[in-house]
Chains A and B, each alone.
Chain A
Amino acid sequence: LAQEIVALLPNHGRTYVEPFVGRGNLFWSAASSALKNQNWWLNDISTIPFFHAIREIGDVVEVPEHNRDEYERQRAASKRGDTVAVLLEPLLTFGGGGYCSSGFVATTEAAPHRRGIRKRLGNATGS
């Protein structure tokens, strides 16, 4: 759906703005499409640290063993501003909702999210 929506955007322009970027579902599609924009501007009241983490770490992140202890450790690290913990947030939490909102998710449910995010990160960073 994201690709279909992005295809309906103007082909070129000065600034591309997303006021509610979330985890970037539309942005990743737009960034990897043929859209030509001079500037890109992403905004979100709660998920911007996720993009800072990608910018800092890149598209390679070691995914730790998925269990409650590791989740609690990453959650605490995230509160301290640890970028790896921030980047792992959608992988470790239920529905990608975040440490503070949705909480721990069982391993079997985490696997599809993990694959999805990995692929997404790969696309976005052009690796």
Chain B
Amino acid sequence: MTETNPRLQPSNRQDMGLDKLGSQDTVLLDAPYPSTDVRSYTDATVDYDHLVDTLLRAKFRWLLCGYIHPALHRLGNPFWSKEIRFLYFSDREERKFGEERRIECLWRNYSNHESSRHHVVVPETLRTKIRIQDRAASLSFPDLDSKIDAGLQTVARDFSALVPYMLEMHRRLSAPGKRSDLRRGAPPSLTCTQWINSKRSKLGRSLRTIQLLLRGKTEASRGRQALAEARGRMRDQSDLAVPDGPVEIASEMAHLVLEMRHAGQKSGLKQKLELLAETFLRVTGLRRFEVDESAAIQSIGGHITNIV
């Protein structure tokens, strides 16, 4: 610090006046990389298009650190690369770090003989990535749109193929206590909801979307749907008038219970009783809070359909 005695400036890059630099000056740019969350800057505070414009017309020598990304495509292929472990804030609120492997790349606008090292290292995997990015960049809007459409169809098709496995996993993790054999090998307290959440990043779909995909396919879901349909039919029937007051409802329920003793459970009285019971609890405000997957889906079904 003492030897270099640097000039210190707290400016935005755009305000630095880099255009005044010449061929004997060297600019080393280690900007926050696109789509990452770092502290001093975020990628939202760096205008990459403007940065690339500046570099492409620069009279000064520059070296830029980054990753293969469409924002840097106009700079051409990197001259150097190396696989590194990349640390990032995976959860800003919880202050957790995430780690992933990335290929650090360097671009520059001066020749090899000006630096002490002359090797160029670009592995095949990176070349493939560059080729794909080059192809994407060369497509017209309609072609790019079609390409993405085709890709999305592939994803949708593949996901449909996954549904039977998802259903099997749901069956295993939702199995009642007696069927402990189905849970063999699974963590003891793991629920289906927890499992879906643990796969969320890989599945690329939210819990509710997964639930919607499985809606009507699981045993429990079918049971709930049948019950909901029966309730709907009963509401349309004029012979069942649900009273408004809790005492009247309780009285009606008592009559039904006694009636069931003689008529048996297959008479449809059970469904009437369930409807009255639900109404009673709702009227009295005694309904316990419960998280019901299908109920959540039904309540926002229309919205979810739009998302999917």
Q: Say whether A associates with B.
A: yes
Chain A residues at the B interface, C-beta cutoff of 8 Å = 1, 4-5, 7-11, 13-22, 25-27, 30-31, 37, 39-49, 51-52, 54-55, 94-98, 101-103, 105, 124-126
Interface segment among B7-15, B202-210, B268-276: the answer is: B7-15
For residue A25, which residue of chain B has the nearest CB?
B30
Q: Write the nearest CB–CB distance from B180 to chain A, whole angstroms.
A: 40
Find B16's partner among A5, A30, A43, A98 (CB 8 Å cutoff). A43
Query: How many B residues, CB 8 Å from partner?
Result: 50
Contact count A vs B, C-beta below 8 Å: 148
Interface segment among B20-28, B126-134, B158-166, B223-231: the answer is: B20-28
Q: Write the nearest CB–CB distance from A7 to chain B, whole angstroms.
A: 5
Are A37 and B8 in contact (CB-based, < 8 A)?
Answer: no
Find A9's partner among B5, B13, B28 (CB 8 Å cutoff). B28
For residue B39, which residue of chain A has the nearest CB?
A97
| Residues 26-37 of chain B, each 1 if its beta carbon lies under 8 Å from chain A, else 0 | 111111100000
| 15 CB-based A-B contacts, threshold 8 Å | A1-B104, A7-B117, A9-B28, A11-B114, A11-B115, A14-B25, A17-B16, A17-B28, A19-B31, A27-B6, A45-B40, A95-B39, A96-B39, A101-B39, A102-B39
Chain B residues at the A interface, C-beta cutoff of 8 Å = 1-13, 16, 18, 21-22, 24-32, 39-41, 45-46, 60-61, 63, 65, 80, 82, 84, 87, 89, 95, 97, 104, 106, 108, 110, 114-117
Are B8 and A51 in contact (CB-based, < 8 A)?
Answer: yes
Bound-complex Cα distance A39 to B7 (A): 8
Are A48 and B10 in contact (CB-based, < 8 A)?
Answer: yes
8 more A-B residue pairs beyond the given contacts A5-B63, A5-B65, with a C-beta to C-beta distance below 8 A = A7-B116, A18-B30, A19-B18, A31-B4, A41-B7, A44-B10, A46-B39, A105-B95
